[in-house]
Amino acid sequence: MRIAVLVSGHGSNLQALLDANLSGQIVGVLSNKPTAYALQRAHVAGIATQTIEHQNYASRDAFDQAVHAQLLAWHVDLVVLAGFMRILSPAFVTQWEGRMLNIHPSLLPKHKGMHTHAKALEAGDTQHGCTVHFVTAQLDSGQSLAQGVLTVNVDDDQDSLAQRVHKLEHKIYPLVVEWLCNKTLVYQANGEVLLHEKKLHDPVQIFEE
């Protein structure tokens, strides 16, 4: 399986994928920001990179078309969003349905969007974590595949939660990507997801050690 990783920042989840020895191959790393440190991680790993700056395009659709063209040029089978800070257009998402993953720092469907750690604390949640899900046109609403779960401690703040959740992200994201690479997890044409040849109803939960 040929994988492209889309990034905008530091690239810690990209590094986790690089370190995971996936059975698939990361063939390209694309960023909308030329200064993203994730690009340097890709260079060190000998992986092709491309920068497509969104401000150079007149519309979201035009930017997405340029990204799509690059993915096709790399002959990509799976797109992995790893801190890619752009909302993708419905037309783009539809073209990659069942072939594009995201990781979100909350236990979806709780706390969609931004500032998830603050939202979890404000809500008095006893559990928090992260979710790997398929990307759909509706923000943070695609089927959840796996969740990293932690217990919120009485002394946790936004920073400590963010650090703990990041560790879980680095654990579960490579795991789900590998499931897709080795066909343990399969997205079917009817939109159903099979895990170990059985329909996946609820995300697999992996708890903080």
pLDDT digits (tens, 9 = 90+) for 75-112: 999 999 999 999 899 999 999 999 999 999 999 999 99
Quick one: pLDDT at residue 177? 98
pLDDT band of residue 203 (cuts 50, 70, 90) is very high
Residue range 42-57: mean pLDDT, rounded: 97
Quick one: pLDDT at residue 139? 86
Quick one: pLDDT at residue 99? 98
Q: Which two tokens stand for residue 44?
A: 């060190």
What does the alpha-carbon distance between residue 82 and residue 104 come to, in Å, rounded to a whole number?
Answer: 9
Strand ranges across the sheet with 100-104:
48-51, 25-31, 2-7, 78-81, 100-104, 127-134, 144-151, 204-207
Contacts of 140 (CB under 8 A, 6+ apart): 102, 104, 108, 109, 112, 113, 133
Q: Report the percent of the chain where pLDDT is more than 70.
A: 100
What does the alpha-carbon distance between residue 202 and residue 138 come to, in Å, rounded to a whole number?
Answer: 19
Does the pTM of the predicted model rise above 0.95? yes
Q: Where are the domains of the chain?
A: 1-96, 102-209
What does the alpha-carbon distance between residue 144 and residue 142 come to, in Å, rounded to a whole number?
Answer: 6
Quick one: pLDDT at residue 112? 96
| CATH code of the domain occupying 1-96 | 3.40.50.170
104 catalytic per annotation = yes
Catalytic residue among 43, 68, 104, 196: 104
Pairing of strands 78-81, 2-7: parallel
| CATH code of the domain occupying 102-209 | 3.40.50.170
Compute, in degrees rounded to 10, the torsion defined by CA atoms 56, 59, 65, 68.
70
pLDDT at 47 over 90: yes
Task: Give yes or no for a contact between 105 and 117, defined as CB atoms under 8 angstroms apart.
Answer: yes
Reported as a single tens digit per residue, the pLDDT across 106-163 is 999 999 999 999 999 999 999 999 999 999 988 899 999 999 999 999 999 999 999 9
